[in-house]
Amino acid sequence: MGTPTLDDLLAAGVRGERVFVRADLNVPLVDGQVGDDTRIRAALGTLRRLLSAGARVVLASHLGRPKGERKAELSLRPVADRLGALLERETRFCDEVVGPKAESAAAELRDGELLVLENVRFEPGETKNDEALARGFAALADAYVNDAFGTAHRAHASTAGIARFVPRRAAGDLLRAELEQLGVVRDPERPLLCVLGGAKVSDKLAVLEALAPHADSLVIGGAMAYTFLAARGDAVGRSLVEPDRFEDARRVEAAARDGGCRLLLPTDHVVVHELAPNATSQVVARVPEDQMGVDIGPATARAYAAEVETARTIFWNGPMGVFEMDAFAQGTEAVARAVADSEGRSVVGGGDSVAAINKLGLGDRIGHLSTGGGASLEFVQGLELPGVAALEEA
Ligand code: ADP
Ligand code: MG
């Protein structure tokens, strides 16, 4: 069963219809003003298409974590202002999320006009997927478009609950692009290489377990490599390890072996005595007892880059080292450059991994940078995302 798209919705016509769009406008705020407006810009495509087709758009998003309370500093109003400026259209704002005030504001919209609702997470029912709140959203809409990939793995009232009560539903352009691009990892041109890194095995255990039998090679860096090495009985010194995950790490290795997937771990390391930006570091093959690994070493970086070169499909999540400190960013940079140079399909997910790529100015040369860390991991595992499933149900 395919997910209905914005194309399908527009083909059937939306003029004069109230279309509730759930977007991800969760931007950083600096002194009450929009800091980085990347997410607002990303939302423009779907909105422009709907508005020019004559839809009356009711736009909803969350912002930060107000935990079900009205918090003035997390109001969506500055976001609505920036959105209006970018769209070069007058944008209305309703300081309620649902209820009579929101309903009359939606009813007053004319064709091609946009109303932004207040932060949906001001309502305690949002993250609980409360049915009354979902019905409240539905009362504002004739059609529902979900374009918020980053929250599609959560069943919330505005990302999933509402869909049941609205007759016409569709995935927005951003959501559709994410599903298409990440779909390449689920159904890859081979060889499929998965590069996993970052802080902890426990954060990414499910994806490790799912990808080990699926990938042709699995390359592990970052702190999580030390849990794997320690589980093998190798020296890891004072590196970040999770002893209660040794058994899981061994199970992932076994799953890779049984599935014919090559699993690569670092063979050299950048180590320091203390984690600090200008700590004295050295490259070693064995982590000394009193030191910790903070980046993959140059030989490992070359080996991982060579893996990237031969892969036809690459999925990468998690940096190879403590990339926030320039001295320990070389492993991440080497992998990022190899991915940028690759002629295969590449998909990168995860907030820190995407940040590392953007910091290097390589964003334009990667096949796809996912906007959803958690959602992309759940999707490549083969899990159904509630926000997507809700669009499909009859
Ligand atoms: P992503 O956001 O891309 O999914 P994670 O949040 O899982 O990535 O991990 C990123 C964090 O992992 C970074 O803050 C980085 O400093 C940390 N990290 C990577 N390698 C190491 C290491 N060897 N030791 C300690 N922390 C590490
Ligand atoms: Mg992160």
Residue 200 among the catalytic residues: yes
Q: Which atom of ligand 1 is nearest to the CA of 349?
A: 3
CATH superfamily of 6-176: Phosphoglycerate kinase, N-terminal domain (3.40.50.1260)
Smallest CA-to-CA distance from 139 within 157, 127, 113, 153 is with: 157
The residue written with tokens 């334009």 in the block is: 364
What is the gyration radius of the CA atoms in the chain, in angstroms?
23
Q: Model-level pTM?
A: 0.92
Going by CA atoms, what residue is nearest to atom 9 of ligand 1? 198
Which tokens sit at 123?
């309502």
What pLDDT, in 10s, does the model give residues 301-325? 999 999 999 999 999 999 999 999 9
Taking 70 as the pLDDT cut, the residues of the chain under it are 1, 394
Domain boundaries 188-380, corresponding CATH code: 3.40.50.1260
Residues framing ligand 1 (Cβ under 6 A): 198-199, 203, 222-223, 240, 293-294, 317-319, 321-322, 324, 350-353, 373
Smallest CA-to-CA distance from 374 within 72, 65, 152, 221 is with: 152
Residues of the chain with CATH 3.40.50.1260: 6-176, 188-380
Cα–Cα distance for residue pair 244/247, rounded to 1 Å: 7
What pLDDT, in 10s, does the model give residues 329-351? 999 999 999 999 999 999 999 88
